[in-house]
Amino acid sequence: MDKILQMLELQQQLNDATNGLGWEDGITKNGKPIDWKRCTYLECAELIESYPWKHWKNIDARPDYANIKIEAVDIWHFIMSQGLEDYKRGDLGSIETLAKNINDLANYSDFSGELKEHFKDYYEQIAVVEVLMKTLFCEGTTEKLMAAFIDVAMQSGLNLDTLYTLYVGKNILNQFRQDHGYKEGTYIKIWNGEEDNVTMQKVLEENENVKPNELYKALEAAYPKG
């Protein structure tokens, strides 16, 4: 199974359902402009906030790597959406072509292998995230953007398999949010004192082979009533 292709297809389906067919033209079915680059750099900022980079606050704190992984997955949603839009609007090829081009990236073989421990300190890791942000605005091609993301993912403690598992989990959570009032502002994000992301991760930890429909049912059961 080509996990990159699977994730791209899931993202296409999610965007079609959430934003309406033709979202690649930059407008949702509700008439709201779409800016994937803005989405991406704001998620990058949230990832950076998971590091104790501030010299004036909590100087002995440690990076929150559990949240860093989640933020990386959130970035991946938007990076894929940007790639899908680029390929559609630029007539660069099909989803299959985009998947193949990602599989052919120079750093993909490391990413698709076993998890490796990375020894950069967290200031160096932040710099890698900032390279992604720079690439987003200044360095052109979709492929360069994908390669920059892979670097961020690997240093965040993710490889292809773990990214895939968390992505599918977050994809289902995003569907669940949309079905329960996220756009309308009525969705409850804190469940028993914790963000819904935490509940989703716990379900995946308890059963890494959980099927998407089973995960959705588990979220339904855990969602605060009333």
The per-residue pLDDT string of the chain (226 residues; one tens digit each, 9 = 90 and over) reads: 789 998 999 899 989 998 999 999 999 999 999 999 999 999 999 999 999 999 998 888 899 988 999 899 999 999 999 999 999 999 999 999 999 999 999 999 999 988 877 667 989 999 999 999 999 999 779 999 999 999 999 999 999 999 998 898 888 888 899 899 888 899 999 998 888 988 888 888 887 777 788 889 999 999 998 6
Give the pLDDT confidence of 31-40 residue by residue, as tens digits: 999 999 999 9
> Quick one: pLDDT at residue 187?
93
SS3 string, the chain, reads: CCHHHHHHHHHHHHHHHHHCCCHHHCECCCCCECCHHHHHHHHHHHHHCCCCCCCCCCCCCCCCHHHHHHHHHHHHHHHHHHHHHHHHHCCCCCHHHHHHHHHCCCCHHHHCCCCCCCCCCHHHHHHHHHHHHHHHHHCCCHHHHHHHHHHHHHHCCCCHHHHHHHHHHHHHHHHHHHHCCCCCCCCCCEECCEEHHHHHHHHHHHCCCCCHHHHHHHHHHHCCCC
> Quick one: pLDDT at residue 174?
85
> Quick one: pLDDT at residue 226?
63
> Quick one: pLDDT at residue 214?
87
> Quick one: pLDDT at residue 56?
94
> Quick one: pLDDT at residue 158?
95
Q: Which domains does the chain have, with CATH numbers?
A: 3-166 (1.10.4010.10)
